[in-house]
Amino acid sequence: MPDIDIDFADRDEVLSIIPHRIASLPSGKKHSTGIYVTEIPSNPVTNLATIDFKTAEDRGYFKLDFLNVSLYKQIKDKNHLQELIDKEPIWELLEHKDFVDKVFHLSGHHAICKKLKPNCVEDLAAVLAIIRPAKRYLVDKSWDDIKKEVWSKPEKGKYYFKKSHAISYAVAVVVHINLLCELVYNYE
């Protein structure tokens, strides 16, 4: 079953107008981002699915993850977002700890950015994958070796980024880099 994440500046704003059920964890607690927009057995008082998301998936229910990504609150409109996506970022900024620590998904990972020096979205996606535990062993490899292994599925249970997620987040990181340059450094 596909894994679909949808980013919002404020997910609660969207959830207030979409009929949905809240996904539950195997512990019975609320899933932090998962929802169902189709019928699923649920508690009518709490709106919480009575089947945990893993069992629900096995039974054919389709969960969506609605994520809060606060950087989108600073996006003026669709054109502004497209400009931030299309603009080539200043990749060298990723070699500076004070800058990296402000960047969505990269904060705290300056050493990896400085070592690997990504200079395109695909390289940045690989860096985002290497930050995750299942691919951390690649940090000391060459880019050729990284590209051969980074998108292979790891051992069962190890947390990793699929290529589609990593590319999507890499584009969001580019947006954030360019937004920071625009807001903080008056770079346009």
Report the distance separating Cα 125 and Cα 131, nearest Å. 10
Report the distance separating Cα 65 and Cα 42, nearest Å. 17
The vertex-154 CA angle with 108 and 158, nearest 5°, equals 55
Q: Give the ranges where the chain is alpha helix by DSSP (H).
A: 11-15, 53-58, 78-86, 97-100, 110-116, 121-131, 143-149, 163-183
Report the distance separating Cα 135 and Cα 83, nearest Å. 32
The tens digit of pLDDT for each residue in 54-75 reads 999 999 999 999 998 888 889 9
Report, as ranges of residue numbers, the positions in the chain whose pLDDT lies below 50: none
pLDDT of residue 187: 55
Sign of CA dihedral 168, 179, 88, 115: negative
Q: Is 148 helix (H, G, I), strand (E, B) or coil?
A: helix
Cβ 63 vs Cβ 76: under 8 Å = no
pLDDT of residue 157: 72
User: Where do the domains of the chain lie?
Assistant: 4-68, 71-183
pLDDT of residue 158: 80
